[in-house]
Amino acid sequence: QTGDANWETCHVTFDHGGNVPYIEGQSIGIIAPGPDKKGEQPARIRLYSIASSAVGDDQTSKTVSLCVKRVVEVGGQFANREVGEDKPDKAGTHFPDDKVYRGVCSNHICDMSVGDDVMITGPTGAEMLLPEDPEANIIMLATGTGIAPMRSYMRLLFHDDAGANADGTRKFKGLAWLFMGVPFSKSLLYDDEHTEYKSKYPEQFRFDYAVSREDKNAAGQKMYIQTKMAEYTEELWTLMQDQKTHIYMCGLKGMEAGMAECFGEIAEKNGLVWADVSKQMKKDHRYHVEVY
């Protein structure tokens, strides 16, 4: 727990029986019973980035996993529970003395029990797919549950049998570098997996965390993703000049502005404008963005 009302994040695995084949970087839709905030029943489809690789966490190709933050807002502008109406959720959290808004789909998912049925649509999405070149470099920027597609990539690249050659070496030959931003160190997701990949493949996997409410840089600024990346500006810039380098960004809307903040100066030093650089990378299908 972090002290925030919306502290809870769940890793949830659904058995689709092989009926929802997907690939890394795609999303699925979940339909909650509702009613949603417009009163619709069932609720409208809510898309979630898939957090498992194509074979699933159990490598049977019959499961799909999501990383879902339970949306709970207390005393805000919107509420779907009046004072006294909020009941304890599966984690035991409730706010009976306040008006509360609970995200319809996220609470539906986080309150599920083993054996419950779930309505799934999809898969969908082509923006976040991995490059086919096994020698590509992958720079991943994730805030919070935006880690989901990055986890799907890393499972394939560093964990699954599907990503291994017959002799046990990995098919992936490039560098994968993850930057993850969270408010609290308690909010870090899949840290055990990142640590394991780093220990097994130190030449191919790097990760850096930006914990905004706990860490500061040398200048005393809060540590956001762009603040952390600024420690490696030259190295990252050089990597980006390689046509085999792809950038993947998933999470909060402000992330792209952070990139401009981080690389504006070095682009200028090289006689370029960052907006043009990122535009060209998008044109070359090397700059992949999924923000919400």
Helix ranges, the chain (H): 104-110, 147-158, 191-200, 225-229, 233-241, 255-269, 274-283
Active site residue 48: yes
18 touches 55 (CB < 8 A): no
Q: Taking the CA atoms of the chain, what radius of gyration do you get in angstroms? A: 20
238-270 as b/e: b if 16+ CB within 10 A? ebbeeeebbbbbbbbeebeebbebbbeebbeee
Candidates 67, 110, 250, 262; catalytic one: 250
Q: Known catalytic residue: 49?
A: yes
The answer to whether the beta carbons of residues 251 and 146 sit under 8 Å apart is yes
Note if 190 is an active site residue.
no
In angstroms, the CA 181 to CA 124 distance is: 26
Q: Strands 176-182 and 137-143, how do they pair?
A: parallel
Q: Which amino acid, 280?
A: Q
Q: Is 250 part of the annotated catalytic residue set?
A: yes
Residue tagged active-site, from 27, 49, 212, 278: 49
Of 48, 101, 153, 224, catalytic = 48
Q: Which amino acid would we find at residue 73?
A: E
* CA 181-184-185 angle, 5° bins: 85
Q: Are 65 and 52 in contact (CB under 8 A)?
A: yes
* Single-letter amino acid code for the residue at 100: V
Catalytic residues, by residue number, are 48-49, 250, 290, 292
